[in-house]
Structures are given as structure tokens and as C-alpha cells.
Structure 1
């Protein structure tokens, strides 16, 4: 008997989603690799991984090639706690409230003993069951694993935000591995985060033993591939690395599907992306120089990792605003300049107050630019903004700025319950909502949030891990968005932030290499470059642009247009337009052109493909 997708869902699937469901079905029924039933759904964010997996789950629960039988009777969905209710909502929406019963472990099942009892009865039930799907967070699954691990009745396990399984020695990985099910589907938009060992963990979870032990994988694949990717590698090392990579891809491509967000261009409005390099204010500059050459820092650099990390974190906070750093701790004495600074536009200076609670945007290049941009967006459009930072204190600074400027804002961070998060998001996304700015902690809000109420997003500081930034950046350009989107990443020129951004490029070139099969990722950085975090380059317009050794730009002016970029190269900023401060007038975005004078030293820009159809 032919297996067909339920028409109620089938009619809404886009072509790439139909292809994705077919691929996952073939994997989980053992048709792709002999004796392997796992799959990795690694589509980039926004392509509908959730809907594709719901379609797979419902198809397996309802049908099989054998008449009157289903492929599976029960399934578990494991996800971050913030997404448990989201999965419930999506399942009920696509399948129908009257067609499926769900067991949702979100704290509503009673005491620990009561929850254990309910989960035990779910695990032990055989045959066609009344409640076939359990939705549970990674944390809860670890807590209640004793109720779930002694059964072989679980037909399918879906692991959302599956990069949680990147460390096979973690308690989460071990707990999930105790669940006896051969059909394991990992959903992740960021399948490689830091290294190939993490990629191996995902593969080994989906299809245990397929690539041997971790030591065998490291010896056979990881070491030769990384050696070949290093910019100082020999031709022979490059050749061996590429051979091993090809061999690895031949195996993993049989059960890994990854499409880039390029596909979204057919259905979504235009998206402009910018990386904006901002000059430090005079005050910031003086503190930064004192900080880097201070005896305490010199001591810290040669000290233990935790101490060094603390120094780096302090530098990162200084890039955001001097008020976030305790200068006394490092014995730094820098006189604060007069209130009026040349860095800030006069329009912003007029708005600046002398109240005690003033956030002093003129003390920070990035905050000065942000202040100017928000004001212009407010007065010239009806656009709304998502504003993201890694740091709670920076979010508090944004809140203060909003209060002083009378902007209505909401803030979402890790302290909120999933229910409250969802309520805030729904309110913000209403077209008639008066909320102008959505403040987001990148750690708390990166995963799975849909913020299409806004069409401008500003990522104020870079994360060590490009995956976290990619998650944060994908919040607004997604299904349901009606307006042209503008995405800005702020980087403080010449500082540790540039080094972090460059290190991201190194990590992403590894990710792109293995997952996207993109042979054209340039070998930008050698490993020794990654040690230069504490050097401050005062005389550059962009340290990152310098490292590109860009042949398209001559003395700060782009002479040749960038090549056409498609799919996997989209994220490589060396392929983008490069506008130095000498050519700010050429930047397509009027807001950036007007507000960036005297602050922006360089801007990299790209845009998505034109929309083809609604």
C-alpha cells in the first residue's frame, strides 16, 4: 500500500518541505542506509523543520505499507523547556485538536511522584494508544528517565534544537541514549558549533556506530580535515583533508538533509544584512588602551583560563559601554570628557538630557549609533525593532535608553516562564501593538522565537559561538513576515569584538565545509591568528576587512562589485559589499547612511534574492 501524507497537512507543504518529509520517511524506515534508522534534519532556520517533522510523525503514527497497520504507535518529542508549549501548539494546529491527544510534561502533571507514574504508564502502554505523543524538555527527561528507559515501545524520538546533543559525555546525551528507539531524528539549524567532534556526537546519536568510535572518527576524519583547512597547510595536507571530507560526506549525506534559507527568498520579502563596524568614543578608546596595557591584564593573560576569560568579558562589556565596567578593579584612571562629543550626531545630542538616569550614549560608539538609528526609525517609519545582547547589564542599559526617550519596549530573558514568554511574543507581533522595541537576551531568546512583528533587528554584540548569533539573527525573516527586513550586527572597530567575529568565520567555514559541502569558503585565518585577542588595532577601519586581503577594494574604496552569492556563501562576509567610511553615501540603507556619520568605519552588506512568488 502506498504511504501518503494526510491531505490536511499535505496541501500546505511547500515543495522543499514535501522533499524533506519524503527524505525523513525513507531514513526512518531504513531505506537510506542499511540497518540505520536515524536522520538529521539540518535545514537552516525558517524553512519549517517543525512542520516537516510533525508531518513525518503523523504519517508514521497513522500508516505503513502494510494495510491497517501503522509504522509506530508512540513518539517522544524532546526540546528546550521554552519550546514545549510551542510544540504542543504546532501539533494541535496542524493535526487538529480532535484528532490527536498529547501528553505534555511542562510541570502541569502534578508532583514528581505523580509525574513519574503518568510517564511510566505512557512508556508501558502497548499497541494503539489513546495518547501517542509525549512532549518533554531535555531537563525533565533527565529527571524522569527511570520511567522511560525500560521500554521498547517508543517508535520515534524527535530531538529539537538537537545541538544540545553535541557532547556525548553530557548527562543529557546519556539520558536520551537510554531510550530504546532506533528511529531518532535530530532537528538543528546549526549542526556544527565548535568542532567536528560535536558533529560526530550528533551522527553517532542518530545512527550509533555508523562512523566507528570517537577515537576512530578523530583519527580518520577530524584531524586530516582540520589540518587541510588550516591556511598554513601544505598542498598534500589539503589534498588528504579534501579526500577524507568527501568520504565523510558520502556517508553522512545519506541521512542528513540541509537546505539553506536561500529557499525562503521565493516566499519572503527582501532581507538586507549589515555588519557595521563602529568607532570607539574617545572615552572608550582611552579606557581600552589603558586596560590592554595594564599590569593586571598582562598578568591575567599569562594566568589561568577563567581569569583570562574574565578579562575578555570585561573588554567585551567595555565595547558596549564604559559604564558596564568596574574601572577601579583594574586601577584605570581615565578622565571623562565633556558631555558634548564629536562622535554623536547633533540630532541625538539635542535629545540627550542631563538627568541622573541618562544612559550617556555619547560615551559609546555603538550606543551612539543605536540611539541615532532608533530615533530616525521612530520618526520616519512604522517599523518595529528587535534589539539583542548577550549581557543582562546591556539590556538594562537599553531599557534605560527607552525610558529616557519614551519608547515603549518589552524585555524577554531567561527568568521568564515559557507561558509568559509566549504571551509577550504574541502581544508584540500584533500589528496594532504599541510596543516599539523588543529587548532580547541572545541566550534566552535565540531558539525558535518568531518575532515577525518587527522588521529591523540589531545584534549589539557578537557571541563566541556563531550558532548563537545565527539563531538570534533568524528571528524576524521567517514565515509570515510582510515587510522588507533589515538586520544589523554591530562590531566595535579594532577591538576584541572583531577577533570574535573573525573566529566565528573560522568556525563557520568548518560548518560550511562539512554540512553545506561548500568548497568555496576561503581559508581566511590560521590558528595562530586566533590568539591575538588582546591586541588593539587603533589604526584600522576594519581589522576583519584587513584579514580578507580583499582584492575588490583599493585604499578603502570598493572598485569591483562582489560576485553573485548563492546559498552557502551567503554568510561569508568577504563576498559581501564593503563600504568604508569614505563611501558611506553608497550604503543602500538611508537610516545607516544618515546616522553613521563619524561613527561607522566600515559596513559589509548583502541582500537576499528577489521574491519570486507569494
Structure 2
């Protein structure tokens, strides 16, 4: 935008001092072809084109400025075309005292035309004053020159952020008691000092989340970012810089860590300084690309450049890139963030061991649950104080694993492993047993409170109930299915076999092999290599059963769980437009699902460990597209159980349980995530009275322990004793639900929920005894899901637990 000079800017005449050049140095008048000069100067700040006219006079030198149009009538006396000339800014030399007051700009410099003193300037009829944009800049102050008009200066980051409404302040110097005297009650502070653009007294400045990220954070995420910042900067406990973010799946742990990372890379309480220079994000190999995509998604506009190591470029390039990252310092840091898998970091830890790292983020941090593993020892050897562990399931099996995570985040916080086991783990576990005495329970509760008082400062835990504000309702069901006649005969044969009898006596047995056979049998008999896996099983074969036939077709009626699934898929396909995800721990089970889909002409996609990481995301994007014809997604829990969002589906079936409840929880969280628009229905299939029920009970025991230690829930029931959990190979074909029998449920009579749950009674996700309970008869018509209602009085579904998110 062009702006002209106002007329009132030309009032006071300004005269140049008479020259003191000697006569010998003067240029003869006849050598000058002109007496006046006309030229244009463009000032970049206002983009205003100014024409300056200079006329020389023997007695006086007058500088005149004005708009270009106002001087269009000025002509040279000789009618000669005037060339353009520049001004020279020169220091005054030998100027008389008489002229020094009128000729100086701010008392420093003079502007002189390149004309001999003998030439005279014709005085303009209209006087003027010197415009402010050509005044000399004031003297240096505080070691810095004030910015000139037209120059581009990068404003302070704190100054920009502090002007944003509802800015998320992570550190406020006013609240810092350590610097209270120097930051509070300074009424004479200027606006620049308050905003942090000026810091003459070296006081602390605020630390504020970049509004690009802050505007996207939800209230619970803002709380999480503040928690992470306080822990990693040592503000929670002096000398402790680590923490654990144990939020359940779907709460945005990734975004919260990105906000922390970016803030530490760019700001600190020290004026114009950053807290860290480099950061390492270590995660499972399947999530390396996901992290890179998330950084580009949230920080792409800020031009952050992460270094992604995915082993695609060969070992030599990996070593070269790691060395460059390790050696980079200050301005040579081109990649402030390194994203690498646990395996790659462990094998190449020598390249990074001597480099100082500002922040370490460990996604799926339960990989560090064993302090004796090579991965734990390698990563623990890095020179990094600020350590953040991300894990939705910090307790997966026992308290020793929980101690490993805490000890990695803050070494020595709870003493040595033996001290922790003696002071906390043993008393707590004794009191959690269903057969514990009152004194043991009292000691256990006391130790839990003591442990929580220490670790609560460094762990943040929020359940996915928070998502109920942003997501549709989720209905989760545990569906207990009876075995088919074929399965029942094979199961009883195996339980009476010499192998199992030797196993129960503890004589030369292979327990893992026996457990695997039983788990596969609960899914479908076709998963076994009969009769090799189970001797004398030929007598159990139903009429028309052929071993060769199972390679071509699937017989759902040979498995109770498969029969229920077959009926559900048919109803979903014919009566709804829903999509469904089928998850199993075994790729052999996925093979059965794939055969079933081909037999029924169901469109399906499959993701397992054999698929490359790049193709996985393409497959997920294709399934999430509402226009895609496939309505079934086959997923291996080991390969894609975490880090994959399948919001294109609103139904999910977990076909078999895993010993580790964390694996199942990761798998179950694939569809109820941000972006989901439809009501979600989740089903966990359990074979009634079998080893799968024992596994489910074991999961419940672990989850109740996690609820006490991590969630600090005091009312968690003690459902199972250690002795009952050892009875893995007991089989009860007549029970409708062995798990419910152990609950001693006060709302159910003979397995039927007779007393409805009060509105004030809140369901606990980690305690299935607080869920709604339905028997498999006509009582099943009370469930909220129309698809599951179809199984009422069918004889296959024996019992159902139902959880409603909100």
C-alpha cells in the first residue's frame, strides 16, 4: 500500500552547512553540466516513493522533499535531462558552530548532496520539516540498536503467544516462589517486560504452549501436558525428571507428548533460551511411521524435521544418520527429533551412548517391564534425564514389572528391586488374595496407600470414560459360548489323556503345549492337526467329517463360538450397513475367517505380521473409506493390536483371550476412538467352562491389581485366590458361567440379574462384577444390542456381561 507524505510535513527549512573545502579542491563550475538533481528513493517499510529535489546556491544549501507529482513542474534552467544521484551520509567535518545547531539530525549526522559548494540551490517557495522516516536512529541503548522502520524483526515467541486468548501457561514466573521477589509487585514494569520481549533484569519469563497445538487440546489433555512439563523440568520433585503417562487408549497420549516436545524445544523460563536441543522417540517398529505422520500432522506448519529410522535404507545409512544426530550440536542440529524402534535403538545404542539427549519418549513403554532385558539396559544407558513412558497398561502381570517402569523413569525412587519386593510387593499381594486374613488385608491397604503417595507424583492415569463427552455410546459384551458336541468330546478326551494326567501330577509334562492345544480347540477343531495332536481322537469325529475337507471349507457348527459369529455376520450384512473387525491371537484362526468370508461372499481385508508397515496403513485407509465394499477387517492382535485406528467399523469381535490383559485392551480399543460417529458394539468371545474362562479370570485378577495400584480404587473386589487360578485344567461343562459364580454377585439370583443396577451405581471397567449380567435364555432379550438379542434361547450363548460407557 502506497502512502504519500502529508503537506504539513514540509514546513521548516533545513540548510546544509557551508563547505570548508579549500579553493584548490573545488571543482570548476564549467565542468558541471547541471545545477539541480532530481531522483527517487523507495523506502521498503511504507513502500512510499518519494522524490527529492536538490538545488544548489552559492550562499545556502537547502534540502527540499515532496511528493513526486508536486515537483513535476521543476525544470532545469538549461532544460537538460537530469541523471539520478545518491546522497551520502557523512560525519560533520570542520563545521562552524553557527550552523551546527540547524544542520544536525539528532545532533549526530549531516546529509550533504554531491554538489560543489559554489553551486547554488533555488529555494522552494514552500518550507518543510524533515520527515521522521529519515531521522537518524537513537543511540545504542542496553547494547542494542532500536529497530528502524522497514526492517523485519522476528518478535519474541513469548510475546506472540501471550497475546493469544486462553493461552495455556505451563510456567508462570509469578507463581514461582523461588523467584517471587524479583517477579512480583513490579508496578513500574513496561508492557515489553511483562510480555518477555524485554528482560533487562534477567527475570524468569512465562512458558506457553504454542497456540497451534493449544487450540486443539481438550481439557484432560491440557492437564496432561502440564503434568508432563512439571515432571520433566523437575518442578514436581527436585532432582526427579521422569514420569509415566498411563492414560487408557484413545485419550491422545501422542498429542500431549508432541505439545511437550515442541515446548521444550523452543522455550524455557530463561529469556530467549530453549530447554532441550534433541529428543528421541522410541516405539515399536509398527508405530514408527505413525509417529512421523503425527508430527507432520500437528507440527507440519512449523516445519519441524524429524529423523525417521525404519531400517529401509540399510545398516550403513542407519549408522550414518545416527552418528550425524549424535554429533549435531547448536545450529548444526538439522533434525531435533529422532524416531526409532526399540530393536534398532538396542542394536545401535553405541552410536548414541555418548550424546546428551534432552528428552526420551518411550511409547508402549511396557516393553521396559523387565529390567534384566537387553532393551531395558541399552536404553537405560543413554545420557538423558527427562524420561517419559507411555503405556495404557503399566501393570500387565505383577508389581515387579511396575517397579521396572518406575525405576526407569526415576532411577532409585523406590530403592532396589529387593527392597521394593520386601517393602511393597509381597505385603500387597498377600492382602489381595481372596483367602487373606483381616490383618493381611489391613497391611496390604496400608502399603498400597504408602506406595501411591510416592508414585502418584510421577504417574497420571485417566480412563477412557472421558471420551464419553466426545464419542458415541460404547456397548462392550463378554459373550460366553458353550462348546459344540464335537469340541466337547475332544476336550473331555484330552483332559483324560495320559499327558494331562502326568501334567497334573507334575511329572515330565509340557504345560505350554497342552495350553496351546486347548486354546486352539476352543476356537475350532480344524486348528488342530488331528489325530496327531490328540491321540485316539478318530472316535470323536462326527459323521461325514473329513480331515481333507477342512482345507477347503469351514464348518461353523463344529465350534460354538464360530457358530455364533457366523449368525452375527449374516445379520449384520443383511440388516445393517455396519462394518466389523475380527481379531484373533492366531493367524490360523484368521485363515478360518478368510475361508468363511469366501464361502459367504463377504468382502474382507486382512492385516497380520507378514504385511509391511507401509501396506498396513494403506489397508487401514481403504477400510475406513465409507465407500469401500469390504465390511470385514481381519486383524492379528500381535501385529496390529496397537496404533491402528479402524473407525470405519463400529463393531468388533475379539475371538480369543490373551494371557496379557494389555494385549486384549489394546485390541478392543481399535474402533472407539476419535472420529467415530456411530454407536460401537464390542464382543469378547469366551468358551464356557474351559481354559479360556481361567485366562479371563486371570486377566480380571491382574486388572483388579492395576485398579488398586495405578487407579487407586479402594472398592475393588477380591474375586480369586491364587489357588483357584492354578486350576487351569479343570473343566466344567455344566456351568453357565464359572466366572460369574466366583463373583458372589448381590444383584443376581441363580444367575439372573433380579435387582437392577441403580443409576447412582457406576460401572467399573476393570471390574466385570459391576457390569450388567444376562443369562443366555430369554433374559438375553434385555441387552441393548439387536444383533446379540438374536442369540436368546438358541442354546449356544450361556451368559453375557454388558458394559455401557455412558
When the two structures are superposed, what TM-score results if normalisation uses the length of structure 1?
Answer: 0.94
Aligned residue for 2:303?
Answer: 99
Structure 1 residues 236-315: aligned runs within 5 Å: 236-303=439-506, 307-315=510-518
Do 1:466 and 1:507's aligned partners in 2 also have CA atoms closer than 8 Å?
A: yes
Aligned residue for 1:593?
Answer: 789
Do 1:520 and 1:569's aligned partners in 2 also have CA atoms closer than 8 Å?
A: no
Structure 1 residues 411-422: aligned runs within 5 Å: 411-422=606-617
CA distance in 2, matches of 1:173, 1:392: 29
Do 1:120 and 1:147's aligned partners in 2 also have CA atoms closer than 8 Å?
A: yes
Secondary structure at the counterpart of residue 416 of structure 1:
coil
Aligned residue for 2:630?
Answer: 435
TM superposition shift of 1:568? 8.1
Aligned residue for 1:584?
Answer: 780
Aligned residue for 1:343?
Answer: none
Q: Does 1:476 align with 2:680?
A: no
Secondary structure at the counterpart of residue 503 of structure 1:
helix
CA distance in 2, matches of 1:383, 1:20: 34
The structure whose Rg is larger is 2
Structure 1 residues 120-131: aligned runs within 5 Å: 120-128=323-331, 129-131=333-335
Aligned residue for 1:231?
Answer: 434
CA distance in 1, matches of 2:752, 2:795: 17
Aligned residue for 1:63?
Answer: 267
TM superposition shift of 1:294? 1.2
TM superposition shift of 1:185? 0.2
Compared with structure 1, are the counterparts of its residues 235 and 268 closer, same or farther at alpha carbon in structure 2 (3 Å cutoff)? same
Q: 2:241 aligns with which of 32, 37, 41?
A: 37
Structure 1 residues 112-261: aligned runs within 5 Å: 112-128=315-331, 129-152=333-356, 154-261=357-464
Compared with structure 1, are the counterparts of its residues 356 and 57 closer, same or farther at alpha carbon in structure 2 (3 Å cutoff)? closer
Aligned residue for 1:458?
Answer: 653
TM superposition shift of 1:334? 3.3
Aligned residue for 1:553?
Answer: 748
Do 1:123 and 1:147's aligned partners in 2 also have CA atoms closer than 8 Å?
A: yes
TM superposition shift of 1:563? 5.0
Aligned residue for 2:723?
Answer: 528
Structure 1 residues 596-611: aligned runs within 5 Å: 597-609=794-806
Compared with structure 1, are the counterparts of its residues 34 and 564 closer, same or farther at alpha carbon in structure 2 (3 Å cutoff)? farther
CA distance in 2, matches of 1:550, 1:427: 45
TM superposition shift of 1:441? 0.8
Aligned residue for 1:347?
Answer: none
Aligned residue for 2:703?
Answer: 508
Aligned residue for 2:561?
Answer: 366
Do 1:301 and 1:308's aligned partners in 2 also have CA atoms closer than 8 Å?
A: no
TM superposition shift of 1:296? 2.2
Q: Does 1:80 align with 2:284?
A: yes
Do 2:764 and 2:771's aligned partners in 1 also have CA atoms closer than 8 Å?
A: no
Secondary structure at the counterpart of residue 69 of structure 1:
coil
Do 1:231 and 1:523's aligned partners in 2 also have CA atoms closer than 8 Å?
A: yes
Compared with structure 1, are the counterparts of its residues 565 and 318 closer, same or farther at alpha carbon in structure 2 (3 Å cutoff)? farther
CA distance in 1, matches of 2:668, 2:316: 41
TM superposition shift of 1:428? 0.8
Deviates more, 1:79-88 or 1:121-130: 121-130
Q: Gaps spanning 5+ residues in structure 2: where?
A: 1-204
Secondary structure at the counterpart of residue 328 of structure 1:
coil
TM superposition shift of 1:305? 8.9
Do 1:494 and 1:540's aligned partners in 2 also have CA atoms closer than 8 Å?
A: yes
Compared with structure 1, are the counterparts of its residues 471 and 574 closer, same or farther at alpha carbon in structure 2 (3 Å cutoff)? same
Q: Does 1:53 align with 2:270?
A: no
Secondary structure at the counterpart of residue 376 of structure 2:
helix
Aligned residue for 1:336?
Answer: 541
Do 2:490 and 2:540's aligned partners in 1 also have CA atoms closer than 8 Å?
A: no
Do 1:262 and 1:567's aligned partners in 2 also have CA atoms closer than 8 Å?
A: no
Secondary structure at the counterpart of residue 540 of structure 2:
coil
CA distance in 2, matches of 1:178, 1:563: 53
Secondary structure at the counterpart of residue 87 of structure 1:
helix
Aligned residue for 2:217?
Answer: 13
TM superposition shift of 1:302? 3.8
CA distance in 2, matches of 1:268, 1:378: 24
Deviates more, 1:93-102 or 1:132-141: 93-102
Structure 1 residues 353-432: aligned runs within 5 Å: 357-432=552-627
Deviates more, 1:191-200 or 1:555-564: 555-564
Do 1:260 and 1:567's aligned partners in 2 also have CA atoms closer than 8 Å?
A: no
Structure 1 or 2: more helix by fraction? 1
Secondary structure at the counterpart of residue 157 of structure 1:
strand
TM superposition shift of 1:300? 3.5
CA distance in 1, matches of 2:704, 2:601: 42
Compared with structure 1, are the counterparts of its residues 339 and 561 closer, same or farther at alpha carbon in structure 2 (3 Å cutoff)? farther
Which digits, 9 at most, give the CA deviation of each residue in 1:197-232, with x for residues without a partner? 000000000000111101011000101111111111
Do 2:499 and 2:509's aligned partners in 1 also have CA atoms closer than 8 Å?
A: no
Deviates more, 1:547-556 or 1:163-172: 547-556
CA distance in 2, matches of 1:116, 1:254: 38
Do 1:277 and 1:492's aligned partners in 2 also have CA atoms closer than 8 Å?
A: yes
Secondary structure at the counterpart of residue 96 of structure 1:
helix
Aligned residue for 1:25?
Answer: 229
Aligned residue for 2:134?
Answer: none
Which digits, 9 at most, give the CA deviation of each residue in 1:341-370, with x for residues without a partner? xxxxxxxxxxxxx99722000000000000
Q: Does 1:485 align with 2:680?
A: yes
Secondary structure at the counterpart of residue 410 of structure 1:
strand
Secondary structure at the counterpart of residue 486 of structure 2:
helix
Deviates more, 1:445-454 or 1:363-372: 445-454
CA distance in 2, matches of 1:40, 1:321: 40
TM superposition shift of 1:595? 3.6
Which digits, 9 at most, give the CA deviation of each residue in 1:9-49, with x for residues without a partner? 11010000001000100000001112000010110000000
Secondary structure at the counterpart of residue 340 of structure 2:
strand
Deviates more, 1:298-307 or 1:436-445: 298-307
CA distance in 1, matches of 2:638, 2:685: 17
Do 1:260 and 1:568's aligned partners in 2 also have CA atoms closer than 8 Å?
A: no
CA distance in 2, matches of 1:20, 1:480: 21
Compared with structure 1, are the counterparts of its residues 336 and 53 closer, same or farther at alpha carbon in structure 2 (3 Å cutoff)? same
CA distance in 2, matches of 1:300, 1:229: 28
Structure 1 residues 308-327: aligned runs within 5 Å: 308-327=511-530
RMSD: 1.7
TM superposition shift of 1:564? 5.3
TM superposition shift of 1:303? 4.7
